[in-house]
Amino acid sequence: MSTPFGAQSAWRQLVDLIGRRRVPVSPAAITRLKAIRVQVPPPVRAASARSLSYADPPAELVHLFAEDDITIAAPVLRVARMRADQWIDMLPGLSPAGRSILRHRRDLAPEVRRALESFGSVDFRLSAAGGEALFEAGVEPGGIDTDFELPKMPLPGPKTGILRGESQAAEIEPVDAVILPMQTAPAESAFVSLGSVALGLPVVAEALRQAEGGDAPSSGTDPLDSQSTGPFEINELLQRIDAYQRQREDKPSIPLLRSDNDAQPALFDLEPVQSPSFRFETDAAGIVRWIEGAARAPLIGLPLDFAALPNGSRVDGVAAGAFRRRAGFANARLVVEGNSDAAGQWRITGIPVFDRETGRFTGYRGTARRPRADESAEPARVSRNPQSDALRQLVHELRTPTNAIAGFAEMIETQLLGPVPQPYRDHASQIRSQAADLLTAIDDIDLAARIESNALDLRPGTVPVASLLAQIADDLASLARLRGTVLMIKPGSPEMAIAGDDRAVERLIARLMATLVASGSKGEKIEIGAESGPDAQVVLTFDRPQSLAAYGVESILTIDAEAEAEAEGAPLLGTGFALRLARNLASELGGALVIGEQALTLHLPAAVIAPVEQVSSS
């Protein structure tokens, strides 16, 4: 912690560990934080405070942040949870701004709110500058002393001016100050009108006199002379203000806030008013810049590109797609978060606006309305499984080091960095082979997680069956030789093709064939045939190996990896997992996998490849 960077790192770590209660708080730790706080920049301390918003920090750490600047302490004071006695002990050390944040909380105990009320005489007083001005002028608590003489101050006139630079600098000659009669508050009240104090300043009095008189005094007339004659209208204004204040004191006032939570005024029981419609305009970037008919705060700055705001207020793809094409849109969906009159669901319609001279796009103008009963302005949200998302993240973390291991093993095996003894090359070959199997298992887990979370990206295409089966059989030739199994391919008609994503179709058939070949025994023949089925389908038939004959239709899907651990070339995640994955992937492609007693039948949508005919020249 001898360097600023070390102090910042220690600050972040201690605040995170103590704030999330991963380590018990101790006086030594708090003392250490106070010692290094001066070395930590305010932005770093503010970021640490924001990170504790939902961490439930202990009272000692809340005290530490409460002593800091209000911009740093505010995030912690808004959500901190402590006992009532801990809050009360901390209140005297808070600034008025910090106590103001606590007054806006509605989850504090009644005794804490009463303790906050006791600081009202300190937090709600006038600013220090105003109080010093009163005492310097000789104001007593019982009223205003009119026997003092105001200091001489320059007044605006023909001989004075406002300095706006060195070129316009002029000598300012002081003139005699205006002595104004001050109104004394009634003896029975200690109230002093703020307007009386402000109007005692000569500059304010002269400005009001000119406003009341209409025209400014001529350049040849001294403003002091024009004020010395005629009725003094400011005096009448002061009398009216004081009379209004006395009349207001006679009437009982209704407090806006009461200590009894059950007796709140009706003001807090009113339902929020929702705006029925509004008009809007955007700039060329699609950002809302003008609003009429609803609250501006939640709408100004809202982009028409829904990808810019994945959470919070947003529009749907209709408006976003129209904006990218600079086209009009109608009844697009909009959701506004918050509690304003603009919050809720909307239907928006907009037309593009182009500059008449240059033809350039300048933005949108449109209207928004509330949806009817038969409409829904809520953008469709696909429910995601958190466990599937976590599994996909784990797959990503596993794939990166596995690829690195396979890459280095290949470099050793091929002697890319220099000569390598044969035993090490053999070990590198085994590592690369096992890493390839592990990558295949990782890809299968990733595919299963995508199917579970509805995140599988399928693109329409056409896949010829004959060439696909020949390619997969060639890739599995080494595995078939290892197991002693013979693959017999009957591709059927050359024009037969499967309609679907080419990568998904290839992965489905390849994983299914690899699982069956790995389950085969020495000298066993596995026949794979393809034919056209009813309802525009391609039917692929796979013979079941003898090792799977003992399993029933449903029990075959429960074979785990431990039961096949001793079999060489067996799927790393087990035959049951591979078959379940193939069945789910076939369903995603619009087909089905049927497991029979003698064979496995795969149904997939068919695509017709029209034969190319030569145009006759005759």
Q: What stretches of 275-358 show up as alpha helix (H) in DSSP? A: 317-325
| Residue spans per domain, the chain | 4-123, 277-369, 388-452, 462-608
DSSP string, 535-552: TTEEEEEEEPPGGGTTS-
Identify the DSSP state of 354: E
Work out the pLDDT band at 161, boundaries 50, 70, 90. very low
Q: How confident is the model at residue 258 (pLDDT cuts 50, 70, 90)?
A: very low
Token digits of residue 567: 């079999």
Could you check whether 277-369 and 462-608 share the same CATH topology? no
pLDDT of the residue at 583: 87
pLDDT score for 570: 63
Top mean pLDDT of 119-133, 197-211, 253-267 is at 197-211
Report pTM.
0.38
Q: Is 111 helix (H, G, I), strand (E, B) or coil?
A: helix
Q: What is the pLDDT of residues 532-543, one digit of tens each?
A: 888 788 898 988
Look at phi and psi of residue 301 and say left if phi exceeds 0, alpha if psi is from -120 to 50, else beta.
Answer: left
The tokens for 261 are: 């939570």
Do residues 540 and 529 lie in contact, with contact meaning Cβ atoms separated by under 8 Å? yes
Least confident segment among 326-335, 348-357, 562-571? 562-571
The phi, psi pair for 351, rounded to 5°, reads -125, 145
Half-sphere exposure of 83 (CA within 13 A, CB side): 4
Residue 613 or 412, more confident: 412
Length of the chain: 618
Q: Report which of 244, 232, 239, 241 is spatially closest to residue 205, judged by C-alpha positions.
A: 232
DSSP-assigned letters across all residues of 520-582 = --TT-EEEEEEEEETTTEEEEEEEPPGGGTTS-TTGGGG--TGGGTTSTT--TT-HHHHHHHH
Q: Which of 571, 541, 577 is nearest to 556 (CA)?
A: 577
Chain centroid to CA 8: how far? Answer: 26
Task: Measure the CA–CA gap between 90 and 571, rounded to whole angstroms.
Answer: 64
pLDDT of 363 reads: 93
Q: Amino acid identity of 93?
A: G
Which of the four pLDDT bands, split at 50, 70 and 90, describes residue 317?
A: confident
What's the chain's Rg over C-alpha atoms? 41
- Token pair recorded at residue 610: 């029209």
pLDDT tens digit sequence for 225-236: 444 444 445 667
* CA 327 centroid distance within chain: 28
Kindly report the CA angle at 194 between 188 and 199, in degrees rounded to 5? Answer: 115
Lowest average pLDDT, out of 9-23, 36-50, 136-150, 469-483, goes to 136-150
- Report pLDDT for 352: 93
By 3-state DSSP, what share of the chain in percent is helix, strand and coil, each rounded to 5? 45, 15, 40
| Superfamily of domain covering 462-608 | Histidine kinase-like ATPase, C-terminal domain (3.30.565.10)
Q: What is the pLDDT of residues 269-278, one digit of tens each?
A: 445 578 899 9
Is the CB of residue 55 less than 8 Å from the CB of residue 20? yes
Q: Supply the mean pLDDT for the chain.
A: 75
Segment 491-529, tens digit of pLDDT: 888 888 898 888 888 888 888 888 888 888 888 888 888
Please tell me the predicted confidence (pLDDT) of residue 5.
79
pLDDT reported for residue 141: 42
Instruction: Provide mean pLDDT across the span 103-123.
Output: 85
Q: How many C-beta neighbours within 10 Å does residue 531 have?
A: 15
CATH number corresponding to 277-369: 3.30.450.20
Residue 383 in 3-state DSSP? Answer: coil
Residue 437's pLDDT is 82
The whole-angstrom separation of Cα 225 and Cα 178 is: 11
Given a contact cutoff of 8 angstroms between Cβ atoms, the answer to whether 46 and 71 are in contact is: yes
Any idea of the CA torsion for 131, 137, 140, 141, to the nearest 10 degrees? Answer: -20
Phi, psi of 330, rounded to the nearest 5 degrees? -140, 140
Q: Report helix angle 70-79 to 42-51, nearest 10.
A: 10
Residue 210 has pLDDT above 70, yes or no: no
What is the four-CA torsion angle of 72, 76, 79, 85, rounded to 10 degrees?
-130
- 60 pLDDT above the threshold of 80: yes
Contacts of residue 109, Cβ cutoff 8 Å, sequence gap at least 6 = 84, 87
pLDDT tens digit sequence for 140-155: 444 444 444 444 444 4
Q: Which of the four pLDDT bands, split at 50, 70 and 90, describes residue 386?
A: low
Has residue 257 got a pLDDT over 50? no
Q: Which of 130-144, 234-248, 424-438, 573-587 is predicted with the least confidence, judged by mean pLDDT?
A: 130-144
Q: Any idea what the Cα angle at residue 611 is, between residues 609 and 612, rounded to 5°? A: 125
Give the CA dihedral 26, 31, 36, 42, nearest 10 degrees.
80
DSSP strand pairing (592-595 vs 599-608): antiparallel
Are 551 and 559 a contacting pair, CB within 8 Å?
yes
CB burial of residue 106 (10 Å; 0-12, 13-18, 19+): exposed
Number of CB atoms found within 10 A of residue 286's CB: 22
SS (HEC) of 11-27:
HHHHHHHHHCCCCCCCH
Q: What is the pLDDT of residue 246?
A: 73
Output the CA torsion sign for 445, 448, 454, 459: positive
Could you tell me what percent of the chain has a pLDDT over 90? Answer: 7
Cβ neighbours of residue 534 closer than 8 Å, sequence gap 6 or more:
none
Dist. CA 618–CA 606, nearest whole Å: 35
Q: 318 exposed, middle or buried (CB, 10 Å; 0-12, 13-18, 19+)?
A: middle
Q: What is the pLDDT of residues 163-199, one digit of tens each?
A: 344 444 444 444 444 444 444 444 444 445 555 555 6
H helix count then E strand count, the chain: 21, 13
Report the C-alpha gap between 84 and 228 in whole angstroms: 63
Could you give the CA distance from residue 162 to residue 154 in angstroms, rounded to a whole number?
A: 11
Write the single-letter amino acid at 411.
M
The answer to whether the CB of 177 falls within 8 A of the CB of 148 is: no
